[in-house]
Structure formats: structure tokens, C-alpha cells
């Protein structure tokens, strides 16, 4: 039952549980213990992120109350967060882009170019492995990518690594496509070839977004406060585990 919701094979799911226990996600609690074992709690969180069912709909599937399901998500969601990479090889090439998950908590979201209240998440992937290596903190969806790159912490997370981006990151020092100068009718052939190569490589981050957005919570997030950030980081970790095989 774990694969449809977590996207992981039974072997991968088992490795995740072992890793979570080693990270302290299942400590001995004082007082009343959890009504579900860690495996089922992880599955509950994954099912919530994957289906975006309301807690009133989801809780009976696991035989718990709505309030228990809510506490499990609040407690375990942060524990599933991606451990962002801190060091990169000198020849590492990364790709960054922003995505705008619609978010109902208007205290952290703003109306964006998709005409919905959204949060801007800067997501960085490794161009070779296509694994997510960093996710910036969410900013209001009306922040453009060139500002969100620095303000979200994504820039600091990747240090001096080479980063490819689209034309929305002008002035950031990232590798972006060539643009025509004022009065220039067309680009030289070598620049057009560079841009073609750039588009093919940069498309990999769009493919990562497409896979991550199979998790329906990123299409309409009802979580408040840091909930959307925890969901994005958790989904990034599960996405990486799926790719790693």
C-alpha cells in the first residue's frame, strides 16, 4: 500500500523508515504513545500530501481521529524534510527555477502571475543526477525569481557552484540565455546554439516540477504557516529517493 502514496518501492520505504529512526523521528514519548507505528504515520503524511484529502476524509482510512491525524502531520512533516546538500564538487552544475504552489494561508501567500494566492519556492537540482539539492524558504508569490533567489536562502545554500537559470534571473550572476541587444535584429548563430543547449539542460528542472506536482498538495495547499515549506521539503526528499532507486 505504501508505493501509490509515497512513490517508493517497499525496499525504499523500509530504508526511509530506518533513516527516520536514526534521525530521531520516533523517540520514546512520555505519556500516551502514538496510536499508529512510525510506518503508518509516514504513510498517513504521504497520503495527505499525495491526495490532498481533508483530514476528516483521511483520518478514518487509518482508524484515527481528525485531531490525531493533524498532530501526526504537524509532528512528522518536518522530520521528512530534505537534508539539503552543503558541499558541491568544483565541476557541479546546478539548475534553479521558481514554482508557485497555490497556498490558502494568505499570511504567507500573495496573488501571483497565475492569478491565485501562491508562495514562490526556489528549487535547485543537480543537472547530472536531477536530484533536488536545495529548496528556498517560501516567499509571497508576487516576488519575482531574481529577488526570491537571494531572499529565500537558495543562493546561500549553493555557495559558489555554477547555476543555470532562465531569463528571469537577470542581474543575479547566474548562467542565463543570451538576449538581443537594443537595436539588434537577431542573435549571432553561436549564441543561438548556446541558447538551444541551455534550454535543453534547463528543461530538467521543469521535469522535476512535473514529477513533484503529482503530489496534489502542491496544487492547492491548505496547510498554514510553515506547512507548505515542510510539504515541499518532504516531497523533494521522497522525489530524490524515487530517482535514486
pLDDT tens digits, 159-199: 999 999 999 999 999 999 998 888 788 888 999 999 999 99
Cβ neighbours of residue 77 closer than 8 Å, sequence gap 6 or more:
45, 227, 230, 231, 234
- Mean pLDDT in the chain? 92
Indicate the DSSP class of residue 136.
Answer: P
pLDDT tens digits, 32-51: 788 899 999 999 999 999 99
Evaluate whether 169 touches 176 at the Cβ level (below 8 Å): yes
Measured from the Cβ of residue 112, the count of other Cβ atoms closer than 10 Å reads: 20
Evaluate whether 95 touches 133 at the Cβ level (below 8 Å): no
Indicate the DSSP class of residue 102.
Answer: B
Cβ neighbours of residue 237 closer than 8 Å, sequence gap 6 or more:
80, 81, 82, 83
- The answer, yes or no, to whether residue 3 has pLDDT greater than 90, is no
**SS3 category, 98:** strand
pLDDT tens digits, 47-89: 999 999 999 999 999 999 999 999 999 999 999 999 888 889 8
User: What's the pTM value of the predicted model, to 2 decimals?
Assistant: 0.92
Q: How confident is the model at residue 2 (pLDDT cuts 50, 70, 90)?
A: low
Measured from the Cβ of residue 132, the count of other Cβ atoms closer than 10 Å reads: 24
**Residues, the chain, total?**
245
Measured from the Cβ of residue 78, the count of other Cβ atoms closer than 10 Å reads: 15
Strand partners, 120: 139
Return the CATH number of 93-226+238-244, one of 3.30.420, 3.30.160, 1.20.1260, 3.40.50.
Answer: 3.30.420
Packing angle, helices 189-212 and 227-244, rounded to 10: 110
Amino acid at each position: 500500500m505504501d508505493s501509490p502514496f509515497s512513490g517508493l518501492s517497499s525496499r525504499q520505504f523500509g530504508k526511509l523508515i530506518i533513516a527516520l529512526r536514526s534521525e530521531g523521528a520516533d523517540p520514546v514519548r512520555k505519556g500516551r504513545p502514538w496510536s499508529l507505528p512510525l510506518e503508518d504515520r509516514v504513510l498517513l503524511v504521504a497520503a495527505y500530501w499525495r491526495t490532498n484529502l481533508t483530514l476528516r476524509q483521511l483520518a478514518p482510512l487509518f482508524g484515527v481521529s481528525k485531531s490525531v491525524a493533524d498532530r501526526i502531520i504537524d509532528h512528522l512533516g518536518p522530520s521528512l524534510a530534505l537534508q539539503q546538500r552543503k558541499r558541491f564538487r568544483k565541476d557541479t552544475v546546478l539548475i534553479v527555477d521558481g514554482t508557485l504552489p497555490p497556498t490558502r494561508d494568505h499570511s504567507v501567500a500573495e496573488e501571483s502571475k497565475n492569478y491565485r494566492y501562491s508562495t514562490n519556492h526556489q528549487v535547485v537540482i543537480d543537472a547530472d543526477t536531477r536530484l533536488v539539492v536545495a529548496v528556498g524558504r517560501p516567499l509571497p508569490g508576487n516576488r519575482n525569481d531574481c529577488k526570491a533567489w537571494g531572499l529565500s536562502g537558495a543562493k546561500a545554500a549553493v555557495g559558489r557552484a555554477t547555476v543555470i537559470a532562465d531569463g528571469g534571473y537577470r542581474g543575479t550572476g547566474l548562467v542565463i540565455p543570451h538576449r538581443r541587444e537594443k537595436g539588434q535584429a537577431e542573435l549571432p548563430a553561436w549564441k543561438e546554439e548556446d541558447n538551444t543547449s541551455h534550454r535543453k539542460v534547463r528543461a530538467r528542472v521543469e521535469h522535476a516540477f512535473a514529477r513533484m506536482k503529482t503530489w496534489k498538495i502542491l496544487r492547492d495547499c491548505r496547510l498554514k504557516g510553515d506547512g507548505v515549506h515542510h510539504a515541499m521539503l518532504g516531497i523533494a526528499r521522497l522525489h530524490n529517493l524515487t530517482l535514486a532507486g
